[in-house]
Amino acid sequence: MKPHAENRTASVWTEADAIFVVFITLLMMSGGILGNILGTLADTNQSLKLGFSNIISLCMPVAVALMFLFKKHIETGFTLRSLLGITSPLSEVAKGFVFGIFIAVSALPLTYLVGVMYTKYFTHTPEAQTIMLSIFNKSTPLWISITASVIIVTIAPFAEEVMYRGILVSVLGHCHSKVFSVVSSALFFSLLHMHLPAAPTLFFVGVVFTVAHISSGSILLVTAMHAAFNLFNLAISLLL
């Protein structure tokens, strides 16, 4: 992406947009706390309710991201492709997918180390995220598990990248240093998932995603990376 084009599209996002992203993050975190509480319930009816809750939680950032993009398209006249910094779609998706798998594999040692430390400190092995427990719970209807899995691998990564890399990093990068914007974005990204054992790994991944976005200017590239990362972890969870 050409530098002047990157600066132009990045400048359309305002501090008000960034504040709203933070607000939505806090709102989703509160929903995550509720989900963790509901996750202790195992009967079929509660699993169904938890499944619906997780699907709604996954769709919330998607609705917010689409609202942001539509609003900026109306205000600025920029196309969706321009707002997302897309220059070569197929190439960006292919590169992003390969890099995403590489990052997922690279993060395994960190995930293992954190798991060992967590077990030693809390005297029990860490559980998977509530959404993963819901997806692979035998009492959860198959269609809910499939729907949640598809959302996790497709539209959820897109929404999170628009919010955290496209908006938050762009605004923070104008007001503060790149280091601050990278760390802040990665921190919000890790907190969003409300899962202590995964927080260090998600922070690391958030940093990599942010650096990739700053370097390329493309939301599509990091969305593909994010999607591949989620797909890899879903596959690992299924095998285990």
Q: What is the pLDDT of residue 228?
A: 97
Report d(CA 89, CA 220) in Å as an integer. 7
Of 145, 124, 122, 147, whose CA–CA distance to 135 is shortest?
Answer: 145
Q: What is the pLDDT of residue 27?
A: 75
**CA distances, 208 to each of 29, 69, 96, 102 (Å):** 22, 24, 12, 11
Report d(CA 19, CA 2) in Å as an integer. 28
Q: What is the pLDDT of residue 135?
A: 76
226, 100 contact by CB (below 8 A): yes
Q: What is the pLDDT of residue 140?
A: 77
Report d(CA 80, CA 73) in Å as an integer. 7
Residue 69: CA atoms inside 13 Å, Cβ hemisphere, count? 21
Q: What is the pLDDT of residue 12?
A: 82
Q: Give residue-wise pLDDT tens across range 111-126.
A: 889 888 888 887 666 6
Q: Look up residue 83 and give its amino acid.
A: L
For the chain, the domains span 3-239
Q: What is the pLDDT of residue 11?
A: 65
Report d(CA 134, CA 125) in Å as an integer. 18
What is the mean pLDDT of each successive set of 10 residues along the chain, which is 240 residues long?
A: 46 86 78 50 52 73 90 90 92 97 94 85 69 75 86 92 91 86 88 79 94 93 96 87
DSSP code, position 107 = T
